[in-house]
Amino acid sequence: MTLKVACPTCKKEVIWQEESQYRPFCSKRCQLIDIGDWADENHKISQPVQGAVDLNEEMLDALEAEFLQHNKFFVEPE
């Protein structure tokens, strides 16, 4: 009996056997494409969170400095 699976990347038939070392993928290329997709998704998920944290800290510092400057600016003319 021969078990066949569909390659998750290109849907090509892959025979489930010792020789098919990249199963369930048909080839190393398809395996790397799938791993690459996962890495991309992880990158997309983690990147905005890290960026937002850095931005918030920087923005708060910038806003605080700007606020203090404006306060002095508004106080001085009076």
Q: Which residues are annotated as a binding site for Zn(2+)?
A: 7, 10, 26, 30
Tell me whether residue 28 or residue 70 sits nearer to Zn ion (CB atom).
Answer: 28
Q: Are 47 and 41 in contact (CB under 8 A)?
A: no
Contact with Zn ion (CB under 5 A) among 1, 2, 5, 9: 9
Closest CA to 23 of 50, 44, 4, 39: 4
Q: Which uninterrupted H or E stretch holds 26?
A: none
| Binding status of residue 31 toward Zn ion by CB under 5 A | no
Q: Which residues bind Zn ion (CB under 5 A)?
A: 7, 9-10, 12, 26, 30
